[in-house]
Amino acid sequence: MQLSNPEPSLPQHAARTRRRIRWVSAAAGLLILFVGAFAWGARHAALRPAPAALTYTALLSAMTEGRVDSIAIVPGKQVLGWWAGRATEDPFRVVYSSANVDGLVQRAERAGVSITFRESSGSRLDYLNVAVSVVLVLILAIVVRRHMGGGQGGGSDLGRTTGSDTTFTSVAGNEGAVAELREIVEFLRSPARFDRIGARTPKGLLMFGPPGTGKTLMARAVAGEAGVPFWSISGSEVTGFIVGLGVMRLKSLFKKARKRGGVIFIDELDALGGRRGRNQSHNEDDRTLNQLLIELDGFSPSDGVIVIAATNRAEDLDPALLRPGRFDRSVSVSLPSAIEREAILRLHAAQRKVPLDAGVDLGRLARLMPQSSGADLANLLNEAAIVAARNGTEQVAWSDIESARDRLLLGKERTGFRASDREWRIVAMHEAGHALAGVTCCPEDGLHKVTIQPRGQAMGVAFFSPDSDQHLHSRRYLEGQIVKGLGGRAAEQVVFGPDAITSGARSDLQHVTRIAKEMVYNLGMGDSTGLMIYDNQNGPVSGELHAAMDREVRSIIDGLYARTVALMETHRAALEALGEALLAHETIDGPDAVRLLEQHGLPAAGVAA
């Protein structure tokens, strides 16, 4: 999890500021120039007196009578004329919109009138058109330049370079990935040691895994440990709408990196290195990828450059990127385990100086947050600190962490929510059914708490927390998850009758259907379909097999639902006792809920801490 974004170095910031000042000054100068020209033209036109207006018929009569000395024709616009004996005075004006002047010329010649032709002179509208055109050109130039600079004001330059002060002491969890990266640090520190024994240092390393697992932070730590520059770019920054722009940017980046050495970090590599040919209407992405492949082949390990890339979708990358000599190594950055989550929580609490109450157990919190990334854990601590500050306390207590966890998982508490007493009773029995089924059929996931406090879209929830991370799931465990998911609907049916079941089980039914389909379609756990699985990569299965798999999924759900209903009927007293307690107290902790169930006939069961 990256804690902060370092600011650009002072020389870079000053150079960027100077470039911006030059551009703004040039644009302002041009704008002032053309606005001044427009104003001068408008003023010059305003100072000249307007000619007297005359109709075309009056002009013809005057020429016939010999009262016109000369005329100046502007085809398609106007005719200017001067009276005989007063040629030095201001002319009169006749609107003449026709481009055909033959008839007028013939009449003037017969009358002995001198004829001249003039071009159309500029008007206020002409000056305005020129000014608007210039402004539009300036705007287009600024947009193109910004696009070419990737929003950084750097022309074809790409990549922000900083001296990273991050080290591996700022990284917690993912020890396997960190060990791989420590070797990269050794390559950067002393490449000659590997050259002496004929070892070729890797050119590139690909880190892949879920979002928020700290890939950027680890890459920055490599540069910080090795004491080399850190060049950071995003795959989406490279390409643009100008043909050849991506190629030019990559050339510039690698040229600068070869001069100074260091780590080039490419985030979102899938945006740049996706499979070629995926975009049939625009092959600029393919040209940019080809240039990246050329650059990876074009530098020597002795240049002291290592390319580290990160992606969440490694399966979408072009195979040419992954061959040896380009991205030589691939490192999986997975979600942290419970022990690693605890270490990440302790690191964030120490670095952010979060004052924790003595009653806060970070180990317990780590177990309560399975499948959470480092970013999720950092956000959890931040939300808990916000809750503590809102409550006016000086330390973050366990209740603050619980409130923050509930908000992140379920959403904000709906304080103004109202429901009838019957609906609250249905919700209480529904959540009690989940708790009873989970404690009985899935003891590995200890009950953490049960609540009917409305949050987000849920009117209640039963939280379960495993004692430790599980990587393999037995059929019994998966069936227990289905029973736990069906406990709410079964409780409604047993307590209120089949006709009174509600829509509250919608998300539960989606969840159990997903598990049952996973068992049959992907894990070969169907009784009638055997070990045959549904694999799209090997082509679609036959319609008969597909129908058989669907029947098997329904058979699993129907059989486990009957088992869940029987469980609720057997322990109805415990079910109703927990439901009534929820109506009275709204939220019940896991250990208290289990004790209440056991007091009303449920066999002894364990609960997670």
How far apart are the C-alpha atoms of 72 and 120, rounded to whole Å? 11
Q: Give the CA distances from residue 149 to residues 18, 116, 519, in Å, rounded to whole numbers and listed in that order.
A: 15, 55, 51
Closest to 287 in 3D by CA, of 314, 318, 256, 329: 318
- Closest by CA position to 433, among listed 270, 597, 267, 305: 597
450: tokens are: 């049960």
Tokens 């005989």, located at residue: 84
> Two tokens at 295?
């650059």
- Is residue 431 part of the annotated active site? The answer reads yes
From residue 467, how far is each of 233, 388, 464, 604, 607 by CA, in Å? 40, 28, 10, 18, 9
At 178, list the tokens: 């960190």
- Map tokens 């902060």 to a residue: 4
Determine contact, residues 354/395, Cβ cutoff 8 Å. Answer: no
- Distance, in Å, from the CA atom of 595 to the CA atom of 347, rounded to the nearest integer, reads 36
CA distances from 307 to 263, 264, 364, 384, 445 (A): 6, 5, 39, 37, 42
Catalytic residue among 431, 444, 552, 576: 431
CB atoms within 10 A of CB 98: 11
**Secondary structure (3-state) at 161:** strand
DSSP string, 499-561: GG--GGGHHHHHHHHHHHHIIIIIT--BTTTBT----GGG-PPPHHHHHHHHHHHHHHHHHHH
Residue with tokens 């790409």: 158
DSSP, collapsed to helix, strand or coil, labels residue 85 as coil
Residue 360: closest CA among 338, 378, 345, 340: 345
Looking at the annotation, which residues are catalytic? 431
